[in-house]
Every structure is written in structure tokens, then in C-alpha cells.
Amino acid sequence: MGSALPRARSFMILTTLLYRASHLTVGVVAVAQRGGRPVPYLGIAAALGLSVLVYGTALRRGWFDVRHVAADVLVTGCLLPFAVYAWGGLRETPAIGWAMLLGGSSSATAAIALRRPHALAAVAVLVATHLVGYELVGASPAVLGGHLNSLLSSAVMAWVMWWYLRRQGRLLDEANARALAAEAQKARYAERLDHHRALHDTVLATLTTLAAGGVDANAPEVRERCAREAAYLRRLIQQTAEEVHHPEMGAALEEAVSSVECLRLRVTAQYHGLPEVPPAVAAAFADAAREALNNVRRHAGTGHAYLTATGDAGGAGAVVTVVDRGPGFDPDRHVPGFGLRGSVHARMAEVGGRAVVDTAPGEGVRVELRWPA
Amino acid sequence: MAGVITVAVVDDDRMLLDGMRSWLGSVPELRLVATAGTVGELLAVPAGPAGTPPDVVLLDLVLRDASAPADNIRRLRAAGSRVLMISTVPDRTRIIEALRAGADGYLTKDNDLPTLVAAVKDVVAGHGAHSPELAFACAHDDSPSRPKLSPRERQVLLDYASGLTLKSTARRAGITVHTAKDYLDRVKAKYQQAGRPAYTKIDLARRVREDSLDAG
């Protein structure tokens, strides 16, 4: 359940509580000014006590207890005017006014706290008893009309407010739920893209190579790579999506290199002055380099790649190049496949790095990975 | 026998020596005149006809007799040969040392025959025998005694070190292949110059002047 309903409820409790408080204030002042018999004091005390019960419980529990509200309607709303009339000696319209007024807040609370038939019955009872009450003190039709109007409009306004808040709350909750779902969907999509990219660079590349038949599937290195990638798939299925990142950039690159070496790509790798980089950056370098190397293996036709990894002249950054001496391509006409564009560029951009591909027909391909960009 | 380049190989790996013999046997422009396990062994035997030293010695960077690569190179240079270093793993400190000691090039042993033949020819022609490994070692040499390189030389060096062909390196720098090769040769020459001992004050003064010219 969303968070809007509890908020609507506490707002309504507060509103009706304030409404009741204003009525009680009028009552306390009127009784205190008049003085005299104890019954009006008992009456206002009973109203105070019931109010504490109704609103205190509601505040504590988050919503009204219907029995408390029913009791309040019957006692504060219906009996109180007759009690102060019969035993309190309040026989004129102005004197009994405060007792009648309390019926308004009773009707407002009943309208929102009770189920609709009960709420209608409560308002009807209030209207009926108050009609009788004002008839007893001989109130003018104007007073009577005004009071009945106030009883009814209190109920209607409270109910409309409550209906509106609930409706808005529901809409808000639905919107929030939709936003959350979209967010989760986006996160899942990003994760799936990560996995797809990883699969593209590893399992798919391995299977494609094996299917092409140029590689001895029984070679220990190939089997080792298959075992590594099967382990990766298992992890993927188990949803333990925690990526194993390598703390050292060199080690991460070396693993990328050895994974393509297993597929008979000769790699001349040279490292110099590699800085300490965040694990995510080292992993991005390794993934991007692996894809660039896979690209050499697939497209260069030379079976040989050069990889260099060095610290940037600046100090904290690093530059990795993956170079082949194959046929290259015309960068203006060639639409790079998923490999170079999707994997390499996106992987570096993810960690705030960049990849630059330089090539010309007959001159091999040079991929430069740089972090920070 | 004009046009035929005489080659000797110094390596303590017998299998490599055998392989080199059959490899170079198939190349008409080259003639393998001697193989040896150490530099001393090679120099003890008069190699070519009439005792002329081989044009190029392919020298393994690390020999089992624990000799210093720099000493080996100086001895071979003194005997009148040019030296092309070969090794299994690129050890950058040793590559730089070798260059300073007068080696004309450096190749890893996993290169193919055409690359090796081209390197030998380059060395005989007075050029450097360049390789990405050598360029990488120079580009990332941060020893205090490294020679000063101009930004252009450094750029060409870095691009070549990344594995680009000389042609691609030249294209990226907007220069001809010939000029690109010239830049790499100049870097090699700077190392060789910086490596030679400065005996006199005049020498020192000249080197200071060279350095400031390079810097400017």
C-alpha cells in the first residue's frame, strides 16, 4: 500500500480535531461565564472526555475507532443538549448554543469515520435530535435553519475533503508505483545490457570461434576458457550479479589478454607505470581491451595484436592501446559493429573514460582507451 | 660476393642456433658464417674469409655465461661488426643498456623470418632495426640519463611503440615513411651518443650544446 492514505488520514484527523477543539473552546467559555449548576460542567467534561477518547485513539492508531465515533455522536451530539436542557437549566436558545454546536463536529467526524449508511444515519439522528432540541427552547426558524445547515454542511464538507484526499492520494501512489516500476525496469535493462555485453565479449565470442572450426576445442587453454565462461554463466543464472573486479589494472588487462590468447590471438603486451585506478575503471579498461582484442582476432586476419598500457603523463590517468596491422577499414564508410561502438565506447564512457578508433584502409586499426576522458 | 651480408649468431640455445641456420640458409642475401655460445667463443675463431668480421652479429641479450650485454656489444663493435639484439622477453632496462652500448636494433625472438631479414638489412644499411619493443623501451625510459627527445620524436616513438606499422605511424604524424624512420633512427643515435663516455671537457660542452638544441 502506498504512503498517501496514511497521510490523508492523519490530515483528516487533525482537521476534525481542530474543528472539535474550536467547539469545545466555545463550550468551556460559555459554561465558565454562566456558572451555576453542576450539570453543564459535567456535560462539557463528558464532551471533553469523549473527544480525548475519539481523537486521542485516532491519533495513536492512525484512524478512528468507529465505536468511539458512534458514542460521540450519541452522547455529545444527541444526549448532551437534552441533558443540559433537562438538568442544567439551560432553557433559552443562546444558553444551549454551545451544546448544539458540538453536534457539528460530531457530524463531520461521523461522515468520514463511519461507513456510508452509518454515517447517513448518524447525521439523520443528529438533525432529528437537534430539531427537537431547538423546538424545546423555542428557537427562531432562522437559528434552526442556520444550525441544520451547519450540521449538514459540516458532514458534507468533511466527507468531500476526505474523498478528495483519498482520490489524490491514490493517484499519487499509482504515479509513484509507476515511477518505481520504470526505475526498476531501467535498472534491470542496464544490468541486462551489462550481461549482454559480457556475453558478447566472452561466451558468444568463444562459441563463434569454436563453431568456425579453426580452433582445437580440446586444447587446454580453450577448455580453461570455456570453464571460466561456464562459471560466469552459472553466476549469472544464480543472480549473484556481483562482478568480480580486479584490484590491479595490470592484472585485469593481463586476464583480458590471456583470454584472447587462448583463442590463438598472439598479443604483444607491454605495460609501463600503470597508476592505481578505481576497480571499476580497471574492469572497464580490461573489458574494453578484451573487446578490442576480440575485434582484432575477428577482423584483422593477422592473428597478432599489440597492446600497450601506460600511465598518463598527467599522473593519475592511464592509456591503453590495442593495435593490429591488418587491412583496417575506411572510417568514413565503415559502420563499426557492436564490438567497437557498443562495447568499447560504452564501456569506457561508463566510467568516465573514452575510446578513440583510428584506422585507414590497409593500415590496421588502432584503438586508444583513455581514462579519465 | 658483393651484396651478400655475413651474419653470425651468438646464443646459448642450441635449438635456436640450429633453427637459425636452417632459416638463414633459405635466404640468398644472407650468409651465416658463424654460430657461438658466447662472444668470447665467436671472437676466438676468425669468422669470415680472410678473418673479416661478420657484418652483423645477432646477439642474445642474456647469455648463460653471465656476461654483461653492454660489454658483449662493445667487444663486437670493437671487432668491427654491427650488433642486432635478440631475446625471448623484452627486458626494457637491458634493451636501453644495449642501445647505449652501441647495438643497432632489438627484436624479440618470436618475429618471423622476413622481419629478421629486413632488420639485418636495415642494420647493414646504417639504419636502426626498429621494433615496437625497442620503441616502447625508449618512449618510457624514465632513467635520469635518458636523452632528450623532441615532441615529434616522442610522438612517432609512442605510436610506433603501440604496434602501428611505420606507414601508419607516418600517416598519423602527417609525415612520410622515410621521415618517420629518420625520427626513429635519430632516437637510436641519441641513445648511442648519450651512452658513449664523455672523456674531455670539449666533448662535455658539445653534449650540453646538443641537449639544449634538442630541448629548444
Q: Report the residue from A306, A310, A360 with minimal CB separation from B163.
A: A306
Chain B residues with CB under 8 Å of A364 CB are: 164-165, 168
- Residue holding cell 437559528? A143
Q: What digits encode the pLDDT tens for the residues A247-298? A: 478 778 878 887 887 676 778 878 888 888 888 999 999 999 999 999 898 8
Q: Report the residue from A266, A272, A360 with minimal CB separation from B140.
A: A272
Interatomic CA distance for residues B172 and A166, integer angstroms: 68
Interatomic CA distance for residues B6 and B47, integer angstroms: 9
- Which of the 8 DSSP states describes residue A319? E
Evaluate if residue B179 carries a pLDDT over 60.
Answer: yes
- The bridge status of strand B82-87 relative to strand B30-36 is unpaired
- Which chain A residue lies closest to B91 (C-alpha atoms)? A270
Within 8 A by CB and 6+ apart from B130, the residues are B105, B122, B160, B166, B181, B184, B188
- Cβ atoms of B82 and B56 closer than 8 Å: yes
Q: Strand ranges (DSSP E) for chain A?
A: 266-272, 304-311, 318-324, 354-359, 365-371
Chain A residues with CB under 8 Å of B167 CB are: 363
CA dihedral angle for residue A177, residue A178, residue A183, residue A186, rounded to 10 degrees: 140
For chain B, which residues make up each domain, given as ranges?
A: 1-129, 131-216
Structure confidence at residue A203 (pLDDT): 81
- Cβ atoms of A359 and A331 closer than 8 Å: yes
For chain A, which residues make up each domain, given as ranges?
A: 4-173, 243-371
Can you tell me the mean pLDDT for B97-116? 87
Q: B162 and A308 in contact by Cβ < 8 A?
A: yes
Query: Helical H runs in A35-92?
Result: 38-61, 66-72, 80-86
Evaluate if residue B210 carries a pLDDT over 60.
Answer: no
Q: A308 and B163 in contact by Cβ < 8 A?
A: yes
State whether residue A285 sits within 8 Å of chain B by CB: no
Structure confidence at residue B52 (pLDDT): 84
Provide the shortest C-alpha distance from residue A358 to chain B (in Å).
9
State whether residue B90 sits within 8 Å of chain A by CB: yes
State whether residue A36 sits within 8 Å of chain B by CB: no
Structure confidence at residue A338 (pLDDT): 47
Q: B136 and A272 in contact by Cβ < 8 A?
A: yes
Q: A323 and B140 in contact by Cβ < 8 A?
A: no
Evaluate if residue A337 carries a pLDDT over 90.
Answer: no
Evaluate if residue A118 carries a pLDDT over 50.
Answer: yes
Q: Given CA atoms A17, A19, A22, A27 in this order, what sign does their dihedral have? A: negative
Structure confidence at residue B89 (pLDDT): 67
Measured CA to CA in angstroms, residue A271 lies from A210, A319, B105 at distances of 30, 10, 21
Q: Does domain A243-371 have CATH number 3.30.565.10?
A: yes
State whether residue A306 sits within 8 Å of chain B by CB: yes
Nearest one of B50, B56, B44, B42 to B4, comparing CA atoms: B56
The CATH code belonging to domain B1-129 is: 3.40.50.2300
Chain A residues with CB under 8 Å of B92 CB are: 272
Provide the shortest C-alpha distance from residue A272 to chain B (in Å).
7
State whether residue B140 sits within 8 Å of chain A by CB: yes
Q: A324 and B163 in contact by Cβ < 8 A?
A: yes
Q: What are phi and psi of A127, to 5 degrees?
A: -60, -45
Interatomic CA distance for residues A19 and A15, integer angstroms: 6
Q: B142 and A273 in contact by Cβ < 8 A?
A: yes
- Cβ atoms of B92 and B140 closer than 8 Å: yes
Question: Which amino acid is located at B12 in the chain?
Answer: D
Nearest one of B62, B3, B59 to B27, comparing CA atoms: B3
Radius of gyration of chain B, Cα coordinates, nearest whole angstrom:
17
Structure confidence at residue A238 (pLDDT): 43
- Which chain A residue lies closest to B133 (C-alpha atoms)? A270
Beta-carbon contacts below 8 Å between A and B: 51
Query: Quick one: fold of B131-216?
Result: Arc Repressor Mutant, subunit A (1.10.10)
Evaluate if residue A199 carries a pLDDT over 80.
Answer: no
Structure confidence at residue B88 (pLDDT): 72
Q: Report the residue from A307, A325, A363 with minimal CB separation from B171.
A: A363
Q: Give the pLDDT band (50/70/90) at residue A329.
A: confident
- The bridge status of strand B30-36 relative to strand A318-324 is unpaired
State whether residue A364 sits within 8 Å of chain B by CB: yes
Q: What digits encode the pLDDT tens for the residues A89-116? A: 777 777 788 888 999 999 999 999 999 9
Q: What digits encode the pLDDT tens for the residues B146-156? A: 888 899 999 99
Q: What are phi and psi of A83, to 5 degrees?
A: -60, -50
User: How many Cβ atoms are within 10 Å of A277's Cβ, its own excluded?
Assistant: 23
Q: Give the pLDDT band (50/70/90) at residue B48.
A: low
Interatomic CA distance for residues B49 and A249, integer angstroms: 54
